[in-house]
Structure 1
Amino acid sequence: MLLNGADPLAIEQAARRLAAGELVALPTETVYGLGARADDDAAVAKIFAAKGRPADHPLIVHVLDAADAARFATELPALALRLMNAFWPGPLTVIVPRAPAMAGAAAGGQNSIGLRCPAHPVARALLAAARAQGVLGVAAPSANRFGRVSPTRAEHVASEFDADLLVLDGGECAVGIESSIVDCSRGGAVLLRPGVLTAAQIEAALGQPLQAPDAQAPRASGTLAAHYAPRATVRLLDATTLTERLARQLPLGLAVYSRTVDASRVGGLARPMPADALAAAQQLFAVLRELDKAGAQEIWIELPPQGSEWDGVRDRLTRAAAAFEA
């Protein structure tokens, strides 16, 4: 059921569903999320069932502000507060120590919890309306089947789930890839998942360097080796290799998504990748979905540049390609 997210009546209807323990799909600036009230483990279990997601793979809890975030935490460490002050509302998730009685299912059973304050006006309106009905926060992973391409338009969500799922249409997502995740639960700050925020931006807000990930880091959303995969096989190739392969006999159903290489030989299944990292992030998942829908069997993608501003795009493409590696 697609509803206009700009309609206050639709927001109220969605808030009532959340309060009743039902699922609602909502837009954020990153991707669309499949939401349930985070303080109700039975409601959160419906997310795992709908997505086919392992119950020990934690979810991010979306909150309206820092005061609501504090309800889910034993404390908000100073480093987390610096990041929240710098980037909230926005595409950043902080992992903090979890309050023992809160959101155990959403946390995947861990003693830490990922919290984010989204910037999308529809998400914020829904969080405010839900809070008025006693919902403290909304657990919301991407609104797609587990491991597949994240949705950046309402119609992407509608194509994945039953027709009775309430989907708030907030237009196309402005960021296009999931939030950066920074673990602040263990003293320092560790970047567990890159997004559109660069490491330099995060370190500037922290006032100190990020620490290297280690084996003790908590599990976090979207960090499995194979993730974000379309139905078509994804191959990541440098520009030289891509050019050489395009000069040979091409496989049936080949699509190409490239920044610098002439892919005109594949005709209607060629897509240009923007030279700007933010623009590439914004369209990435929509392009992968579009090529799937167009019948692509294999997608050759030019490796992004090495600049840190491309880390989020490179991360998503590497994980998408890993799903098809032998």
Structure 2
Amino acid sequence: MSRIFDCSVDSELLTGTRLARQAIAKGELIVLPTDTVYGVGADAFSASAVQRLLDAKGRTRQSPPPVLVPAATTVDALASEVPRAVRDLIDEFWPGGLTIVLLAHPSLSWDLGETEGTVALRMPDHPVALELLAETGPLAVSSANLTGQPAARTAAEAEAMLGDSVGVYLSAGSGGEQASTIVDATALLHGGDLTVLRDGAVSRERLRAVVGRLLAED
């Protein structure tokens, strides 16, 4: 049976993060707080764990999960090319609520679903998430909810939807009001624009202040 660990209590934080690391290593799912909404996470390099994540949410392989990273430098190990404009966005908005779609490094041995050779990357701005990521490495993380339901803003809301499909729930109060903004930067590699796939925590105005005309018109 799953348990919610209150990360504001030192003893529960230590126990919860230890059990979360163990769950990830065993290919199980965890729920973790981020600076946006709560996420359900799995080992990004375990195809069976990623499939378990998709099944828990009721999603198909046509909706691959983003990958959360512990540091901006991790991007160079996961993406085949990182345009200058993307590095500018990372410098401005990471850690934070911006997910960036790039071409995945072809040598990576993972299966996130039908990604068409891309990967969506984000560094969250939350101490619990970052501490966990520093020990587990990149995690496939999607919003902690059933597909079609509102994103969970607390661990309790996530548990009400995901139940025992998740091994460990880490709680750190209420999450943010919005999910991350998602931008597709793959076209920048051949002279195209940066496009917004989902509006969220980082506004288009803030994006345009960094990349200017490289952001496609609304």
TM-score (normalised: structure 1): 0.60
- The structure-2 alpha-carbon separation of the partners of 1:87 and 1:68, relative to structure 1 and needing over 3 Å to count, comes to same
Partner of 1:142: 143
Partner of 1:155: 156
1:67-119 superposed Cα distances (whole Å, 9 cap, x missing partner): 22222211222121111110000000011111124365325332111000000
Distance in 2 of aligned mates of 1:76 and 1:101: 16
Q: How many residues align?
A: 207
Distance in 1 of aligned mates of 2:162 and 2:204: 35
- Counterpart code for 2:69: V
Tell me which moved more, 185-194 or 163-172. Answer: 163-172
Distance in 1 of aligned mates of 2:28 and 2:107: 21
Distance in 1 of aligned mates of 2:109 and 2:60: 16
- Counterpart code for 1:42: S
Aligned mate of 1:204, from 209, 212, 216: 209
Distance in 1 of aligned mates of 2:200 and 2:109: 24
Partner of 1:80: 86
CA contact (8 A) 1:38 1:103 kept: no
SS at match of 1:17: helix
Unpaired runs of 5+ in structure 1? 131-135, 214-326
Distance in 2 of aligned mates of 1:111 and 1:87: 24
Partner of 1:59: 65
Partner of 2:14: 8
Q: How far did residue 186 of structure 1 move? A: 1.2
- Counterpart code for 2:145: N
Unpaired runs of 5+ in structure 2? none
SS at match of 1:94: strand
Partner of 1:189: 194
Partner of 1:242: none
Q: How far did residue 161 of structure 1 move? A: 2.0
CA contact (8 A) 2:183 2:197 kept: yes
CA contact (8 A) 2:34 2:124 kept: yes
Residues 213-232 of structure 1 correspond to what in structure 2 (within 5 A)?
none
- Counterpart code for 2:112: A
Residues 105-124 of structure 1 correspond to what in structure 2 (within 5 A)?
105-124=111-130
Distance in 1 of aligned mates of 2:107 and 2:47: 11
Distance in 2 of aligned mates of 1:64 and 1:191: 23
TM-score (normalised: structure 2): 0.89
Q: How far did residue 52 of structure 1 move? A: 1.0
Distance in 1 of aligned mates of 2:118 and 2:14: 34
- Which structure is richer in relative contact order (CA contacts within 8 A, separation 6 or more)? 2
Partner of 1:18: 24
Q: CA RMSD in A?
A: 1.7
SS at match of 1:202: helix
SS at match of 2:36: coil
- Counterpart code for 1:137: P
Tell me which moved more, 31-40 or 63-72. Answer: 63-72
CA contact (8 A) 1:61 1:106 kept: no
Q: Percent identity?
A: 31
- The structure-2 alpha-carbon separation of the partners of 1:211 and 1:104, relative to structure 1 and needing over 3 Å to count, comes to farther
